Amino acid sequence: MIRNARVLLDDFLPREVVHRHEEMNRLAGALEPVVAGDRPQDALLVGPSGAGKTCIARYSLDRLQEQALGVDTHYVDCWQHSNRFRLLYKILEGVGTTYDVHRSTPHDELLRRLEELSDPYVIVLDEVDQVEDKSLLRELYAIPEITMVLVANRERDVTGTLDERLRSRLRSGETIRFGRYSDEELVSILEDRVRWGLDPDAVSRDQLDRIAAAAAGNARDAISVLRLAARDAQRDGADRISDERIEAAIPAARREIRQKNAEKLSPHQRTVYDLLVEHGPLAPGDLYDRYRAAVDDPRTRRTIRSYLTKLERYNLVESEGEGPSRRYRSL
């Protein structure tokens, strides 16, 4: 039933981007000058998850790579490389100068290599709001050869933490805002994936409607649901996907992401998370008391606070309220 599983994966990049031509053209317009040897504009892509930001950014890099010789491009997911060293390392990977970099290489050396670039280098920094060391962004901006395409959910997550110089530099670039996909658009995206990856009658139009409605404009979620449903059907030897499988896949897709993140937690972090899952919204003090009662060698309050910001980063936990009225709850 599955003919090409690859097209249902998260990182699959279609040969053509649908429903995002306007955004596509603006980004291409910003980067295009580099083909003629001129200085391209930096860009900022903002919008909700699954709205096509990453897709457009990666697609544009590929196009650029085809059009221009002597232009390096690279995509970096800041989520997985949030500290200074890892991010620099990842960026250097794109120009192939990491052959002799190891942990004892001074950071300055990494930055110096970037400063010595002689060819234009266009980098996409996805989830850029996750970068811990914001001064690194400024240092990267200072390198003339580097053009940055920043990707984030909310504009203020990026601009709010930067200094004024960097902010004005960003404003002079291209800011492209993405909205959620409509249900119609999601369905047509799903139809493409079905055509490329599944047997033609494996899924009905009504079922795609259902998936689109559940995904609330998030293409990544919609595709995940389709992937899970198809995988289950395939495993059981069915030749088409039943409605039940779709319904089961909708919550399962969300659970899957959370589960993956939860597996990355240390035992102490896991305890904190489990306490929130079990006991609903908790005040920080209350949470800490319970935590201390639950483990043998408790970490300090400050450490638990760091855990909680990490849990929020992983979308496992949500906080509301400020100061003393703050409450944490599991998602």
* φ and ψ at residue 142, rounded to 5 degrees: -70, -15
Residue with tokens 């035992």: 267
The burial of 6, by beta-carbon neighbours within 10 Å (0-12 exposed, 13-18 middle, 19 or more buried), is given as exposed
Contact region with DNA (CB under 7 A), list: 18-26, 186-194, 220-228, 295-303? 295-303
Q: Does 315 bind DNA (CB under 7 A)?
A: no
296 near DNA (CB under 7 A)? no
**Which span (32-40, 119-127, 207-215, 296-304) binds DNA, by CB under 7 A?**
296-304
DSSP string, 277-300: HHH-SB-HHHHHHHHHHH-SSPPP
Contacting residue, 165, 184, 305, 315, with DNA by CB under 7 A = 305
Residue 323 Cα distances to 26, 90, 319, angstroms: 42, 37, 11
- For the CB of residue 268, give the shortest distance to DNA in the complex, in Å: 6
CB of 169 closer than 8 Å to CB of 144:
no
Does 324 interact with DNA (rule: CB under 7 A)?
A: yes
Q: Is the CB of 118 or the CB of 300 nearer to DNA?
A: 300
Cα-trace Rg, the chain: 22
Tell me if 306 contacts DNA by CB under 7 A: yes
Of 268 and 329, the one with the shorter C-beta distance to DNA is 268
Select the residue interacting with DNA from 29, 144, 280, 285 (CB under 7 A): 285
Site for DNA in 129-188 (CB under 7 A): none
Q: How far is the CB of 275 from DNA (least distance, A)?
A: 14
Query: What is the distance between the alpha carbons of residues 297 and 309, in angstroms, rounded to a whole number?
Result: 21
CB of 76 to DNA, least distance (A): 15
**Within positions 38 to 97, which residues make up the interface with DNA, using CB under 7 A?**
83, 85-86
263 lies in the binding site for DNA (CB under 7 A): no
Both tokens of 302, joined, read 């400050």
H or E segment at 190?
helix 183-197
Q: Does residue 257 bind DNA (CB under 7 A)?
A: no
Q: Is 102 in the site for DNA (CB under 7 A)?
A: yes
By CB under 7 A, residue 29 contacts DNA: no
Q: Find out whether 190 and 223 touch, Cβ atoms under 8 Å.
A: yes
Q: Which is nearer to DNA, 75 or 288 (CB)?
A: 288
The alpha-helical segments, DSSP class H, found in 21-119 are 21-31, 53-67, 84-93, 107-115
User: 190 CB contacts (<8 Å, ≥6 apart)?
Assistant: 203, 208, 211, 212, 222, 223, 226
Q: How far is the CB of 128 from DNA (least distance, A)?
A: 16
d(C-alpha 58, C-alpha 24), whole Å: 11
By CB under 7 A, tell whether 302 contacts DNA.
Answer: yes
CB 76 within 8 A of CB 90: yes
Cβ at position 190, least distance to DNA in Å: 38
Taking the least distance from each CB to DNA, the nearer of 4 and 161 is 161
Which range, of 2-10, 51-59, 210-218, 281-289, touches DNA by CB under 7 A?
281-289
Q: Which of 70, 96, 106, 237 binds DNA (CB under 7 A)?
A: 106
The structure tokens listed for 173 are: 């670039």
Query: Closest distance between DNA and the C-beta of residue 254, in Å?
Result: 25
Interface contacts to DNA, rule CB under 7 A: 83, 85-86, 102-104, 106-107, 266, 268, 283-286, 288, 299-300, 302-303, 305-306, 308-309, 319, 321-326, 328
